[in-house]
Amino acid sequence: MEIQYVLDTFFALFAMTLIIFMVPGFAMLEAGLVRTKNVTSVLTVNVMIYAIASLSFLLIGYEIAFGSWEYQSKMSQWAFFLFQMAFVGKVVNIVSGGVSERSRILPLALFTIVVGAFIYPLIVNLTWGANSLSETVFDISGLSDLAGSTVIHSTGGWSLLAAILIMGPRSGRYREGKVKVIPASNIPLVTLGALLLWIGWFGFNGGSVGSISTKESADAVALTILNTNTAGLAGAISGWLLTYYRYKKFDITMILNGALGGLVAITAGPDKYDIYTPILIGAIGGALVIWAVPLFDKFKMDDPVGALSVHLVNGIWGTLAVGIFIDKVSIWSQLKAIVGVAVIVFPISYFVIYTINHFFTLRANDEEQFDGIDSVECGMDAYPEFRRGL
């Protein structure tokens, strides 16, 4: 029906727009979390990721993922493309955030092309997409993952893990068995960024229902957004209580990362739960972040924004949760896909990043890190008039 076509197109554009708010969301979050001497380069990377990943997906990736432009006929193909395109940059954002304060920009830009044109589209092909490569690679199409706990967040997480193993920690971060605390430089930006991500998630998950034009789908969209939000609330509260219990202080970066953890965790199945289960899923998601952040530090996996804890750990947890809480969903299919994505994404990413690193040197050296990536790569201070202390 024409009216359904119109409604679903409009809704996809609405959802896409919300996701695009995640571009400033990630940019502000990361700009706030790093030191001032790395702020400009982090912002540059964020803008370039959006530009490069999206264009790579337009020119190459989309057809790998979905087979053809006419994949969708129930809404405007352009709207469907835009909604799918809005996802791509997020995968690279996860990587770039986790290697910030020590990575050079050009190699990251090259890696962005590979992710946007090939790695992410391959995973989409095997899961949400055309499924044409399932026989060539292997079949994980049994996965139940509404909006990408595995497809987006674990994919980004495994890539990031590869990058961190290759690049090593920021210089001076682990010394004499101790972890040097490096405080976030701008808490309002961290808060703004996390809240924009939160809002973007409504579009991410709500739009992934794929339609709003029937009573059933409208209910599913509304339930999805409600459950998405609830998991974020619960993650924030669990992040708060656990850090408060341990340190007797309110740590807003952990409250916000808890919320993001909850949001990642709910992403695999927000349309399937009743309205109370997301409280549990989100609270566990927040707790996992609080538990994982120091754990990765223990293994000297340096991740300035907590991306491994938020995206990889909770991507796995969220995907399992659908199998645990929803009868119809097989936990073995979920596990198979979790492992499947890992054994595809991690080695490919490792190989690609290793190769790029070989030719272009991904890691800024100690002196450059001391001076800050901004002066080396951008020649531009983020706040040139504010005198620095610390």
* Cβ neighbours of 351 (radius 10 Å): 11
Please report how close the Cβ of residue 304 comes to its own copies at its closest, in angstroms. Answer: 15
Please report how close the Cβ of residue 322 comes to its own copies at its closest, in angstroms. Answer: 19
Please report how close the Cβ of residue 96 comes to its own copies at its closest, in angstroms. Answer: 13
Please report how close the Cβ of residue 47 comes to its own copies at its closest, in angstroms. Answer: 6
Q: 103 near 46, Cβ under 8 Å?
A: no
Place of tokens 């408060």: 244
Longest dimension (CA), the chain: 67
Please report how close the Cβ of residue 312 comes to its own copies at its closest, in angstroms. Answer: 24
Secondary structure class of 363 (helix, strand, coil): strand
By DSSP bridging, strand 178-179 and strand 174-175 are antiparallel
**What's the CA gap between 235 and 256, in Å, rounded?**
8
Q: 321 near 281, Cβ under 8 Å?
A: yes
Closest CB to its own copies among residues 8, 158: 8
Supply the Cα-derived Rg of the chain in whole angstroms: 20
Secondary structure class of 175 (helix, strand, coil): strand
Closest CB to its own copies among residues 50, 317: 50
Q: 78 near 27, Cβ under 8 Å?
A: no
The tally of CA atoms less than 13 A away on the side-chain side of residue 180 is 9
Please report how close the Cβ of residue 316 comes to its own copies at its closest, in angstroms. Answer: 24
Structure tokens, 59: 């020119």
Secondary structure (DSSP) of 235-297: HHHHHHHHHHHHHSS--HHHHHHHHHHHHHHHTT-TTTS-SSHHHHHHHHHHHHHHHHHHHHH
Please report how close the Cβ of residue 265 comes to its own copies at its closest, in angstroms. Answer: 15
Please report how close the Cβ of residue 236 comes to its own copies at its closest, in angstroms. Answer: 4
Closest CB to its own copies among residues 37, 158: 37
Please report how close the Cβ of residue 51 comes to its own copies at its closest, in angstroms. Answer: 4
Q: Which helix (H) or strand (E) holds 179?
A: strand 178-179
Q: 13 near 77, Cβ under 8 Å?
A: no
Closest CB to its own copies among residues 255, 344: 255
Closest CB to its own copies among residues 85, 99: 85
Secondary structure (DSSP) of 7-51: HHHHHHHHHHHHHHTHHHHHHHHHHHHS-GGGHHHHHHHHHHHHH
Closest CB to its own copies among residues 295, 380: 380
Closest CB to its own copies among residues 166, 252: 252
Closest CB to its own copies among residues 139, 297: 297
Closest CB to its own copies among residues 166, 378: 378
Across-strand partners of 12?
none
